[in-house]
Amino acid sequence: MQAYPDIYIITDSKFADAERVNAQFTRFVELAKAIDPSILDRIIIQIYRPEMLDLVMAIHPWKSIIYTLYANPDWTPENVLAFSEQTGVKFITMWHYLVTPEIVSLWDTADIKIAAHTVNDLAAANRLRDLGTDVIYTDFLIP
């Protein structure tokens, strides 16, 4: 990252419990500060539950957060909207088949960006784009 200043990294820690979050993200910060503290501005933290936001922010004031819904069975369009409005987290990732016109419309009121994963079918990608999805995660897409 020091040699390539246009690289950003999105974390995918898979854990939301306090002990592991603290250990992993504290180590990220320690390593980056030892090499080049500005690297921390290019690490995008992916959280899996609302309470994880406070855990990671207590370690470092991260500039970018993605709230990924797949590990939270309790999410609803309304509680995600409320979380975004309360915290300022404006990037939400969800399974592609859960994106609906109603969710896009509701979250658009708060300028929430929607990312859909994992889409490897061009027709599905086009449908999501037409719905207003902002980002599509893919392993491959062949036009």
Mean of pLDDT over the chain: 96
Segment 97-119 shows an average pLDDT of: 97
Q: Which two tokens stand for residue 75?
A: 């999410």
Identify the pLDDT of residue 40.
97
Phi, psi of 129 (to 5 degrees): -65, -45
Where would I find the beta strands (DSSP E) of the chain?
Answer: 9-10, 43-47, 64-68, 91-95, 113-117, 135-136
Distance, CA of 113 to CA of 21 (rounded, Å): 25
Residue 143 in this model has a pLDDT that exceeds 80: no
Q: Which two tokens stand for residue 120?
A: 């490897």
Q: Which two tokens stand for residue 20?
A: 């592991």
Share of the chain above pLDDT 90, in %: 96
Segment 56-68 shows an average pLDDT of: 97
Residue 49 in this model has a pLDDT that exceeds 80: yes
Identify the pLDDT of residue 52.
97
Distance, CA of 125 to CA of 137 (rounded, Å): 9
Residue 6 in this model has a pLDDT that exceeds 80: yes
Which residues make Cβ contacts (< 8 Å) with residue 139, sequence separation at least 6? Answer: 118, 120
Distance, CA of 3 to CA of 75 (rounded, Å): 39
Q: Which two tokens stand for residue 70?
A: 């797949």
Q: Is 30 helix (H, G, I), strand (E, B) or coil?
A: helix
